Amino acid sequence: DIQMTQSPSTLSASVGDRVTITCRASQSISSWLAWYQQRPGKAPKLLIYKASNSESGVPSRFSGSGSGREFTLTISGLQPDDFATYYCQHYNSYPWTFGQGTKVEIE
């Protein structure tokens, strides 16, 4: 199985900051990677698909990059609504797996 490792696990930041979350795959997954945002008590929301494509309706401050084994999610200009937990997920092959999550907290 392909393992997905996110870093950091927790990130403290302020409104307006630029933050970057990293996701590493245990083997190459080409660009078969998605990013999700989950607010407490809510369902996950798809932000990015195929590593760098923004889902319709997602604010432009969210961007994704990478291919192969290393990927990043960047939030340019953190907003109050962005304090949440973010997950990467590969879909290169079965079983799909998620990273362990990165919680973005208010500093």
**The tokens of 27 are what?**
């083997």
Q: Cβ closer to another protein: 16 or 43? A: 43
Q: Cβ closer to another protein: 82 or 87? A: 87
Residues in 6-45 at the binding interface with another protein, rule: CB under 8 A: 32, 34, 36, 38, 42-45
95 makes contact with another protein (CB under 8 A): yes
Query: Total residues at the site for another protein (CB under 8 A)?
Result: 25
CA-nearest of 90, 34, 95 to 62 is 34
CB atoms near residue 51 (< 10 Å): 23
Q: What are the beta bridge partners of residue 11?
A: 104
SS3 (DSSP) at 25: strand
Q: Quick one: which of 8, 50, 79, 105 contacts another protein (CB under 8 A)?
A: 50
Q: Cβ closer to another protein: 72 or 101? A: 101
Is-contact 77 18, C-beta < 8 A?
yes
Is-contact 86 37, C-beta < 8 A?
yes
Interface positions with another protein (CB under 8 A):
1, 32, 34, 36, 38, 42-46, 49-50, 55, 87, 89-91, 94-101
